[in-house]
Amino acid sequence: MYAQVAIEQVPGQLFTYAVPAGMEVRVGQSVTVPWRRIYHRGYVIALSEECPYVPKAEPDAQGDLFGETPAPKVKAIERIEDPLPYFSEGTITLLRWMAEYYDVGFTLALRSALPAPVREGRSQARERYVVAPILPPPPHLPPLSKRQKELYENIVRVDGGLLARLCEEFSTTAPTIRRLAKMGYLTCELREAPRSPLAGRRVLPSKPLPLTPSQAEALDVILREERPVLLFGVTGSGKTEVYMQAIAKTLEEGRDAIVLVPEISLTPQTVSRFAARFGQQVALLHSALSDGERHDEWHRIRRGQARVVVGPRSAVFAPVRRLGLIIVDEEHDTGYKQDESPRYSARDVAVMRAHIEKARCLLGSATPSLESWRNATELGKYALARLPERVGGAELPAVTLIDLREAGKPGEPLPIFSEPLIDALKGCLERGEQAILFLNRRGYAPTYQCAACGEPIKCEHCDAKLTYHAKDDTLRCHLCGRWQRPPAKCPTCGAPLFKTLGVGTQRVEQALAKILPRARVIRMDADSTGRRHSHDELLSAFRAKEADILLGTQMIAKGLDFPNVTLVGILSADRSLNIAYDFRAAERTFQLIAQVSGRAGRGVLPGQVFVQTLQPDHPAIRTACDCAYERFADDELALRRAQGLPPYTRLAALTLTGPDQAALERAAENAARALARTPGLEVLPPMPAPLERKDDLWRWQLLLKSQSSLRIARACHTLLPPDDRISGPIKALLDIDAVFLA
């Protein structure tokens, strides 16, 4: 018996090993194999009776004593790491498909299916100290000092937990807590505790709600259909309840479920809704978990101890035993596209995995991607279920469109806030309600320019203007992350005066402080949410009404449900509309307005939305303000069809990067000429990428169109196999079904 083994550290090919007699190897197992005199971890991808490979003699074994070449020998698997496989046959089929479809090496595809702490076999499950308060405290205990009392009360409040975590949370030491245990207030015991992110969180169990007629119908479609189902439901229409009942049904059938959510909406709130319904059966896979937690959650799933997996895009590979259902929530979200190789779309991988494992697939959104919408309407590849109304008759918010061109005074810069929005904000705060303000740009001002010659200050390493951050008086490049102090003199003309142009979230924060000095504002953007928990902390504070206004970038655009929010302001709806090279700009803008306005009026209070724009007549903005998705989709699809753009064609981007501009241009033209020979493939003329320079490297781009992505992948594979693309000074990156054309 022979095994094909993928060795993570040696990508590029699979290796053949002999299975020693008596060793029971199965496909998907993790094994240890020798490779060049070092033992490596590998995964068994296939088994065969015949040896599929004729080994070459090892060069260093040549020329033995008798001057003959020794008979080459296939090496043997050293040992099986774990009898329970890491991958099912279905997952291996899926990874093979992925490797071919996205044109990456198999081993790289496999890598994306394993969280780093699992791959590295780090953090073995181990015993840990668990602290629990004894309640009520037994009588006649020795008295506590003031600090001990405070600590004890804190531990009671959080209902105990892991010793290490409590020490961290309450800035104390293990001996201090142990002393409380010795005194009789607590127990502190060694237990084999899987490090579960949900452990120690108290969640009230929830029961299935009686479904509304449209929810019941949607559930029926989901359970009946063999095709993937697109669940088109406005925000607040009860999609999550439908998800949970579909999951419950799947569990009853003895099968497991995966729920993909955008990274950004993986809030404790989302997670606890699933935990409340399915308790300990829920596993959470999330990059913000500690290594130990990720490691343990993944193995809990593999062992069948957790049967509902909630996580971001990489959870699509979760090692559930018998997949019965995959849900992709907010299926239109661009976060499902991985931005490094393999550049897979988790939504598309989910559809494929469900197909391979004969599981149900459910895509949900209030603003479906045009790809999915077309599949569900024109093509009938998906079934369509609708939830046209909010649950409990809550109205969708009234949307007011404000023409910013008329809001300012002639000759003055555009105002950040129009009068109607300021009035509405004041009214909202007076009533004790909350508001969300949205601006898709962080920093203080996106342009820092010379007041004399008008030249903006640019990054020396990228094709990007630097953003001014007032808080620490820096100019930052949002592309490469480099920062510098503002220069004393203009590098172009030498004048010593600068002005800032444009508006970022920090500047809005400052302006708010002037207009509404008493308003408590939480700002949330990539600059304010650095630490591991601060994203959650900021949201919890806002939920607990510790602030009146939540101000942020797209981070706050989706998934949040705050019943007390009655006002949403989009400060500039144009920002995403004007990206000339992004043919999906209108779609993004529609989604953004619809999703952001979906935050208002989720509770019993009615909601109000203000959209400030310089282009009030743009169809995407108009239809979004009317919440008219279908009208938008019809018009936009007609445009795309006329222009030969996705979803009517497949589009891939081949980006070449290199230090020498002329050599790069030549390489791009050669590649274009070679690819153009493929039948059924349209190659657009090579051009500098929209981001012409990043991190000191030049970038050129070729756009490739075809009816089949596989044809594109194969043509590129023939031109340049994936492993050769990243060697040499010029590197090539292939992005199949490209989403970001930067």
Residues within the interface to ligand ADP (CB under 6 A) = 209-212, 215, 233, 235-241, 391-392, 561
Minimum Å distance from CB 439 to ligand ADP?
23
477 binds Zn ion (CB under 5 A): yes
> Choosing among ligand ADP, Zn ion, none, which partner's interface includes residue 391 (Cβ < 5 to 8 Å by kind)?
ligand ADP
462 binds Zn ion (CB under 5 A): yes
CB neighbour list of residue 593: distance below 8 Å, 6 or more residues apart: 399, 570, 573, 611, 620, 621, 624, 625
**CB closer to ligand ADP, 84 vs 211:** 211
- Tell me which stretch binds Zn ion (CB under 5 A): 45-53, 369-377, 476-484, 713-721: 476-484
**Crossing angle for the helix pair 89-101 and 346-356, nearest 10 degrees?**
140
**CB closer to ligand ADP, 214 vs 657:** 214
Minimum Å distance from CB 542 to ligand ADP?
17
Question: What one-character-per-residue DSSP string does 96-147 give?
Answer: HHHHHHTT--HHHHHHHTS-HHHHTT-S---EEEEEEE-SSPPSSPPPPPHH
Token duo for residue 476: 């930052």
CB neighbour list of residue 103: distance below 8 Å, 6 or more residues apart: 713, 714, 716, 717, 722, 734, 736
Question: What one-character-per-residue DSSP string does 56-67 give?
Answer: PPPGGG-S-TTS
- 600 φ, ψ (degrees, to nearest 5): -90, 145
Minimum Å distance from CB 229 to ligand ADP?
15
Minimum Å distance from CB 272 to ligand ADP?
12
Nearest to 220 by CA among 240, 245, 201: 245
> Choosing among ligand ADP, Zn ion, none, which partner's interface includes residue 480 (Cβ < 5 to 8 Å by kind)?
Zn ion
Minimum Å distance from CB 277 to ligand ADP?
11
**Distance from C-alpha of 74 to C-alpha of 481, rounded to nearest angstrom:** 49
**CB closer to ligand ADP, 45 vs 244:** 244
Enclosing H/E stretch for 610:
strand 608-613
**CB closer to ligand ADP, 245 vs 553:** 245
Token duo for residue 726: 């990243």
478 binds Zn ion (CB under 5 A): no
> Choosing among ligand ADP, Zn ion, none, which partner's interface includes residue 212 (Cβ < 5 to 8 Å by kind)?
ligand ADP
CB 498 within 8 A of CB 473: no
CA angle 219/249/385 to nearest 5° reads 15
Minimum Å distance from CB 235 to ligand ADP?
5
- 448 φ, ψ (degrees, to nearest 5): -120, 105
Minimum Å distance from CB 537 to ligand ADP?
22
Place of tokens 């929209």: 690
457 binds Zn ion (CB under 5 A): no
| Helical H segments across 3-123, by residue range | 89-101, 106-112, 116-119
Minimum Å distance from CB 321 to ligand ADP?
28
**Binding test (CB under 5 A) with Zn ion, winner from 242, 459, 522, 570:** 459
**CB closer to ligand ADP, 216 vs 493:** 216
Minimum Å distance from CB 387 to ligand ADP?
7
3-class SS of residue 487: coil
Minimum Å distance from CB 269 to ligand ADP?
10
**CB closer to ligand ADP, 509 vs 561:** 561
**CB closer to ligand ADP, 103 vs 561:** 561
**CB closer to Zn ion, 235 vs 467:** 467
Enclosing H/E stretch for 510:
helix 505-515
Kindly tell me the burial class for residue 659, based on how many C-beta atoms sit within 10 Å of its own C-beta (0-12, 13-18, 19 or more): exposed
- Tell me which stretch binds Zn ion (CB under 5 A): 70-78, 329-337, 351-359, 454-462: 454-462
**CB closer to ligand ADP, 189 vs 389:** 389
- Tell me which stretch binds Zn ion (CB under 5 A): 10-18, 462-470, 619-627, 713-721: 462-470
**CB closer to ligand ADP, 389 vs 723:** 389
**CB closer to Zn ion, 165 vs 442:** 442
> Choosing among Zn ion, ligand ADP, none, which partner's interface includes residue 209 (Cβ < 5 to 8 Å by kind)?
ligand ADP
> Choosing among Zn ion, ligand ADP, none, which partner's interface includes residue 135 (Cβ < 5 to 8 Å by kind)?
none
480 binds Zn ion (CB under 5 A): yes
**Binding test (CB under 5 A) with Zn ion, winner from 461, 618, 711, 714:** 461
**Distance from C-alpha of 139 to C-alpha of 547, rounded to nearest angstrom:** 42
User: Where in 621-650 is the site for Zn ion (CB under 5 A)?
Assistant: none
> Choosing among ligand ADP, Zn ion, none, which partner's interface includes residue 85 (Cβ < 5 to 8 Å by kind)?
none
**Distance from C-alpha of 478 to C-alpha of 459, rounded to nearest angstrom:** 9
**Distance from C-alpha of 106 to C-alpha of 8, rounded to nearest angstrom:** 10
**Binding test (CB under 5 A) with Zn ion, winner from 132, 479, 579, 691:** 479
**CB closer to ligand ADP, 209 vs 638:** 209
**CB closer to ligand ADP, 85 vs 238:** 238
> Residue 498: beta bridge partners?
450
691 binds Zn ion (CB under 5 A): no
Minimum Å distance from CB 563 to ligand ADP?
8
Minimum Å distance from CB 244 to ligand ADP?
8
> Choosing among ligand ADP, Zn ion, none, which partner's interface includes residue 365 (Cβ < 5 to 8 Å by kind)?
none
**CB closer to Zn ion, 239 vs 476:** 476
- Cis before 342? omega within 30: yes
Edge-first strand listing for the sheet containing 434-438 = 398-403, 608-613, 565-570, 434-438, 549-552, 521-524
Minimum Å distance from CB 458 to Zn ion?
9
Q: How many residues bind Zn ion (CB under 5 A)?
A: 6
User: Where in 201-220 is the site for Zn ion (CB under 5 A)?
Assistant: none
For residue 82, give Cα distances in angstroms to 25, 43, 79, 90: 10, 11, 9, 19
**Distance from C-alpha of 115 to C-alpha of 311, rounded to nearest angstrom:** 12
Minimum Å distance from CB 483 to Zn ion?
9
- Cis before 721? omega within 30: no
> Choosing among ligand ADP, Zn ion, none, which partner's interface includes residue 461 (Cβ < 5 to 8 Å by kind)?
Zn ion
x-marked contacts with Zn ion along 408-447 as a string, rule CB under 5 A: ----------------------------------------
As a whole number of angstroms, the longest Cα–Cα distance in the chain is 96
CB 335 within 8 A of CB 588: no
Nearest to 441 by CA among 562, 551, 561, 589: 551
Expressed in angstroms, the distance from the first to the final Cα of the chain is: 49
**Distance from C-alpha of 156 to C-alpha of 159, rounded to nearest angstrom:** 5
User: Where in 523-562 is the site for Zn ion (CB under 5 A)?
Assistant: none
> Choosing among ligand ADP, Zn ion, none, which partner's interface includes residue 240 (Cβ < 5 to 8 Å by kind)?
ligand ADP
CB 520 within 8 A of CB 547: yes
Minimum Å distance from CB 466 to Zn ion?
8
Minimum Å distance from CB 324 to ligand ADP?
21
**Distance from C-alpha of 114 to C-alpha of 318, rounded to nearest angstrom:** 8
Radius of gyration in angstroms for the set of CA atoms belonging to the chain, rounded to a whole number? 29
**CB closer to ligand ADP, 174 vs 394:** 394
**CB closer to ligand ADP, 240 vs 576:** 240
Task: Enter the DSSP assignment of 178.
Answer: H
Minimum Å distance from CB 388 to ligand ADP?
11
**Distance from C-alpha of 501 to C-alpha of 449, rounded to nearest angstrom:** 7
> Residue 386: beta bridge partners?
232
Where do contacts with Zn ion occur on this chain (CB under 5 A)?
A: 459, 461-462, 477, 479-480
